[in-house]
Structure 1
Amino acid sequence: MFVQELCGDWMSHPFWRAQFKLSSDAELRRIADSGIQHVYIDTDRGLDDVEAVAADEVKASVEREIVAALSEPDDKVLRVSVREEMSRARKVHEQAHKVVRSMMGDVRLGKAVSLEDAEPVVEAITGSVLRNSGALLGLIGIKNKDDYTFLHSVSVCTLMIAFGRSLGLAGEDLRQGGIGGLLHDLGKMKVPDEVLNKPGRLTDAEFELIKRHPGDGHAVLLETPGIEAVPLDITRHHHERLDGSGYPDRLAGDAISPMVRMAAIVDVYDAITADRCYHKGMPAAEALRKMWEWSSAHFDQKLLQAFMRCVGIYPVGSLVRLESGRLGVVTEQNEGSLLTPRLRVFFSTKSNGYIKPELLDLGRKLGHGGGDRIVSAEVPEKWGVDPQRFLLAE
């Protein structure tokens, strides 16, 4: 059979979005040992399985489950609009990037990490999230491949704080979760660049090097004065999975703390929506659908539901195509339904050209600023557009 897709996050197995024809029992064992429970096969390029469920049926079933699970949207209290917060959020994001780059550079040089550098970043991100989480969440999708590791840490910190707040966490609990998100990948600075950024399939030996980064980061933080238990736990265990297939300690079930379960969801979500040297990031809506497919074995499903409510099925900054043929960028979630966000349309796929930007609230009826519906999440490169340009356009 020809494996088209492995149903599991790419950081927990050595294949990393490889497509290949199975050629031996050893390859089958390698897939099973990595915790993969399902795969998609391409029947035009290999043998079929007459008992397998068709991909379209799986997709439709997953989407029905998600809609049913998220029937009660998250109730956010926003202090300011996305537009009001965006300029401050950009400054927070840029400063956080600089601080993380500096801290990780210190780790690469064998120097100690100081919480005095991390804490102001977490405080600034928390302040922005509390004012309006949509602004910073709309920025985390902007990543340069060369700076991925640094920007990923900023994104995980932001998502952990937004996620924690949506679950009712506050004060020191929220702060510690943010610190854990910011520092969780310090150990990657101990991985050789040629392995960390390898564009192709990893060898078993190379994947073993990758799997050392949670333990290496944990060791770095143990030498950090004032570090608390939660950041240590997140750093060491964010690649653990509920079925025990994760690493480095193969923890399972209740042995994985709630904060680590949150970090595992956040870490994977941000990783699979970003462009990397070895894979193209997928739209956020598609990423959430994929994660739901894997959730029964890998993630805490109730927490994944809560995370989806937090970021929205179509997160701020997402590019979507409407039934009318227009493209729009999501500007805000709609409290009435996660399937009908507010957005700004700016491009026609029918004429393949830009149109006058227009605000649209999909929760409203035709003639009242609505009257359209989302048919798909889109990749900006497909249409040659930059949704961020229109996120705050007049």
Structure 2
Amino acid sequence: MDQASDQDLRISVAGLEVGMFVSRLDRPWIETPFPLHGLTIQDTGQRDALRGLCSFVWVDPLRGKSPDPRYLDLADPGQAKRQIDALRKTTWAVAQDFDTEVEKATPVFDQLEAGLRGALDELRAGRKLDTARLKAGVDAMVDSMLRNPNAFAWLREMRRSSEYDYLHAMGSSIWAASFGRHLGMERTELEELALGGLLCDVGKTRVPAELLAQKGPLDEEAQRLVKLHVRHGLEILGETPGISSIVIEMVATHHERHDGSGYPQGLAGNDIPIFGRIGGIVDSYDAMTSERPYAVSLAPHKAVSELYNRRGTAFQPEMVEQFIQACGIYPTGSLVELSDGRVGVITAVNSLKRLRPALMVLLDSDKKPLPRFQRLDLSEVMQDPEGRPLNIRQGLPSGAHGIDPHQLFID
């Protein structure tokens, strides 16, 4: 094999396109019908032949078309960083204060949730998926998240209930859009991410309800039937007009894992598309923080720790680190105890100072409810009322000290 130059990029053959200059293969050129010193792909026949021969190749972006960053090889940490950097097309600034945006976002949340319930109920009744209402709700949600991403995340936490299917779809959609916003993706991409997150588990409408409601571990056959929800979901989307290839790709691959241990295809590393990697992270995070028939929910900060522990195995390390930057060590809606004993709920994360978010203080140091909730931004307030260093002592599980999240809506 020839040596690749510094500017050459190693990519999965799935990312090959006509017009690219292939400078090196993952095997000797002499074992192929191609020239010995590289070639410019002239047509789809050459492209498909390379895809059939190789798993990955090197392309020279100075001598031909540049590759889509989604297909850069992740084995090279430098390329993994460049891939994520290439996603950033803009920077979204917070354009609305939290209180005002929560007020605006509440009817939007209700609209999207009602649309989702209607769509899933129609599917269970054997009718087609109507996406028009869902897309309208997703567009309005993205509007809200672009103004202030914390409002929808707050509402998701406040609306947690035993209706796992609906709330999990909402949560995956919200976190996917929030993650994409943090990465600097364009609005159209955020809409695709949000719709993909909403529909990732749509195939479960064709899985026996008793399996989804079963408590305790599933046997091998039950696990096989539940895993078929990915195929069912793709069948549903295949029968639905107006669904983009990106959304389909996200639904198809959100259970694939970085080390190849996922399903249904056992894809690994760069073979998992970007939207599938995002879907896998947000789906896992929201599931871990939700009450499921077969598992108790984790406090958000513990779910973040679990994702961090699984970086490099289940999830791409760089993507996990970016997600934690987006949601914070203590995500919006998390209950925390401060160093002086007071208890509050996170209202906004600080990407530069992840351990110093903004919060609403609910209980005093004796764990008694305050007559009026107090705003506190730890990035600005460094000491407690006694002049001692003020920080977060620990995260708390949902419902700690009898706190009912439904009582935390802002008047």
TM-score > 0.5, shorter chain as reference: yes
Q: Cα RMSD between the aligned structures?
A: 2.2
Q: Which residue of 1 aligns with 2:355?
A: 339
The one of 366, 369, 375 aligned to 2:383: 366
Aligned residues: 319
Within 5 Å, which residues of 2 pair with 1:206-285?
A: 206-285=222-301
Q: Distance in 2 between matches of 1:338 and 1:313?
A: 6
Within 5 Å, which residues of 2 pair with 1:63-212?
A: 77-143=93-159, 145-212=161-228
Structure 2 residue 321 is the aligned partner of structure 1 residue 301: no
Q: Distance in 2 between matches of 1:391 and 1:375?
A: 25
Once the two structures are superposed, residues 261-296 of structure 1 have per-residue CA deviations (whole angstroms, 9 ceiling, x without a partner) of 001000000110111222221111110001111111
Once the two structures are superposed, residues 323-342 of structure 1 have per-residue CA deviations (whole angstroms, 9 ceiling, x without a partner) of 11111111222354010111
Question: Given the two structures, how large is their TM-score scaled by the length of structure 2?
Answer: 0.73
Once the two structures are superposed, residues 163-203 of structure 1 have per-residue CA deviations (whole angstroms, 9 ceiling, x without a partner) of 11111111322222222111111100011111001111111
Are 1:344 and 1:391, in contact at CA under 8 Å, matched by a contact in 2? no
User: Sequence identity, in percent?
Assistant: 32
Q: Distance in 1 between matches of 2:389 and 2:94?
A: 25
Are 1:141 and 1:273, in contact at CA under 8 Å, matched by a contact in 2? no
Q: Which residue of 1 aligns with 2:20?
A: none
The one of 375, 379, 384 aligned to 2:393: 375
Q: Which residue of 1 aligns with 2:63?
A: none
Amino acid at match of 2:392: I
Amino acid at match of 1:171: R
Are 1:344 and 1:390, in contact at CA under 8 Å, matched by a contact in 2? no
Amino acid at match of 1:354: P
Amino acid at match of 2:156: I
Amino acid at match of 1:374: I
Q: Distance in 2 between matches of 1:172 and 1:331?
A: 27
Question: Given the two structures, how large is their TM-score scaled by the length of structure 1?
Answer: 0.76
How much has 1:389 moved relative to structure 2? 3.3
Q: Distance in 2 between matches of 1:388 and 1:371?
A: 31
Q: Distance in 1 between matches of 2:200 and 2:352?
A: 35
Q: Decide whether aligned partners of structure 1 residues 380 and 260 sit closer, same or farther in structure 2, where only a CA change above 3 A counts.
A: closer
Q: Decide whether aligned partners of structure 1 residues 335 and 181 sit closer, same or farther in structure 2, where only a CA change above 3 A counts.
A: closer
The one of 288, 304, 316 aligned to 2:332: 316
How much has 1:360 moved relative to structure 2? 2.0
Q: Distance in 1 between matches of 2:239 and 2:388?
A: 55
Q: Which residue of 2 aligns with 1:354?
A: 369
Are 1:330 and 1:341, in contact at CA under 8 Å, matched by a contact in 2? yes
SS of the residue corresponding to residue 339 of structure 1 reads: coil
Q: Decide whether aligned partners of structure 1 residues 367 and 243 sit closer, same or farther in structure 2, where only a CA change above 3 A counts.
A: closer
**Structure 2 gap segments, 5+ residues each:** 1-90
Are 1:330 and 1:391, in contact at CA under 8 Å, matched by a contact in 2? no
SS of the residue corresponding to residue 356 of structure 2 reads: strand
SS of the residue corresponding to residue 310 of structure 1 reads: helix
Amino acid at match of 2:370: I
Bigger radius of gyration, 1 or 2? 2
Q: Which residue of 1 aligns with 2:402?
A: 384
Q: Distance in 1 between matches of 2:357 and 2:349?
A: 5
How much has 1:307 moved relative to structure 2? 1.0
How much has 1:144 moved relative to structure 2? 5.1
Q: Which residue of 2 aligns with 1:3?
A: none
